Structure 1
């Protein structure tokens, strides 16, 4: 079960690093605008908000990776950090889909691995 947890948490972190890059550095790029379904004008208007939001995604990834690194040496701290990072990711995906059901696909991409990582982590306790 630990291997499954590590894989799921690592995938969740990688997805959130990718989201960070899209939101913080590629927000106005045509491919990113297509991904998020926004116009060029809206991308320009929301550029600073997206930049900030991208860093939230990066910080969740960092917390999760820190938990993975600590898990072997300090299991309680590692577990807490993994649950904090992946739990926040899963909760954010839930907020996304409950606010706008049209964003279900995005919420699934953002939240499936983290939610499964939470379950897997809890099963290792």
Structure 2
């Protein structure tokens, strides 16, 4: 279960790296508009906000990824703390998105599902 949890959290972190790319590097490109919606004018008007938001997603991915690496190499205390902080924040961000905008349920589940499942598997492995 430990390995499964680490893999799921790592996949969640990779998804958040992709979200960073979309929000911070490709925000005005067609691929980001297809993913998030909006017009080219809206994308240009919100580019600064998206740039900043993308970095939040990158930082969450880095925290979770470093935590996964630490657990995998034997430093469970620091690793689990970082995994909980990074993946837990990913899950809570998905909850906040859906709570604020219920029509974004799919987006909220997309960003929260992998880290949530990873945290459950880690909890079973570490507490079981």
TM-score computed with the length of structure 1 as normaliser: 0.96
- 2:6 alignment partner in structure 1: 6
Please give the per-residue CA displacement for 1:25-78, whole angstroms capped at 9, x wherever unaligned. 000111211210111111111101100110000000000111011113211110
Q: Structure 2: any 5+ residue segments left out of the alignment?
A: none
Moved over 6 A (4+): none
Greater RCO, 1 or 2 (C-alpha within 8 Å, sep 6+): 2
TM-score computed with the length of structure 2 as normaliser: 0.94
- 1:57 alignment partner in structure 2: 57
Number of residue pairs matched by the alignment: 125
Q: Structure 1: any 5+ residue segments left out of the alignment?
A: none
Q: Determine if contact 1:83/1:121 at 8 Å carries over to the other structure.
A: no
Secondary structure (helix, strand or coil) at the match of 2:28 reads coil
Alignment RMSD (CA, Å):
0.9
